[in-house]
């Protein structure tokens, strides 16, 4: 993880969506709830994919190596956060859309796996 300083980022030219980080983090079924929005290049050269949940409208920013980032508008920067935390925030309010129980279980499994990898 990076230190607590946020990293400035600029939208990079992305010609095609990159789904690999999202599918690696939550699986292809849950990835179906997201739209790819853009690629961001951070000041430290990390490339981050920005995904927007179709129902909750929350973003999930994921790096090439499984890192998760949160955008901070006050300083226009990205701060690395725990993957499990980022997933939870992106899905906050999702239950109002009435997802099937099988997908709720997949979400729980993805969060648990992210926590396991972090420990």
pLDDT digits (tens, 9 = 90+) for 58-92: 999 999 999 999 998 777 788 999 999 999 999 99
Burial-class residue 15 by CB neighbours within 10 Å (0-12, 13-18, 19+): exposed
pLDDT surpasses 70 at 9: no
% of the chain exceeding 90 in pLDDT: 72
Instruction: Tell me, yes or no, whether 1 lies in a domain.
Output: no
Instruction: Tell me, yes or no, whether 43 lies in a domain.
Output: yes
Instruction: Tell me, yes or no, whether 67 lies in a domain.
Output: yes
Instruction: Tell me, yes or no, whether 2 lies in a domain.
Output: no
What is the pLDDT averaged over residues 13-36? 93
Total domain count, the chain: 1
Q: Cα-atom radius of gyration of the chain, to the nearest Å?
A: 14
Range of the domain at 13: 7-118
% of the chain exceeding 70 in pLDDT: 88
């Amino acid at each position: 993880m990076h230190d607590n300083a946020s990293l400035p980022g600029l939208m990079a030219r992305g010609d095609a969506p990159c789904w690999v980080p999202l599918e690696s983090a939550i699986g292809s079924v849950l990835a179906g709830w997201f739209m790819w929005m853009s690629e961001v290049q951070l000041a430290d050269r990390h490339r981050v994919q920005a995904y927007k949940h179709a129902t909750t409208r929350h973003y999930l920013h994921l790096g090439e190596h499984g890192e998760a980032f949160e955008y901070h508008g006050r300083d226009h920067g990205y701060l690395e956060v725990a993957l499990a935390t980022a997933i939870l925030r992106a899905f906050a309010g999702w239950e109002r859309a009435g997802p099937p129980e099988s997908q709720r279980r997949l979400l729980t499994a993805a969060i648990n796996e992210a926590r396991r990898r972090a420990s």
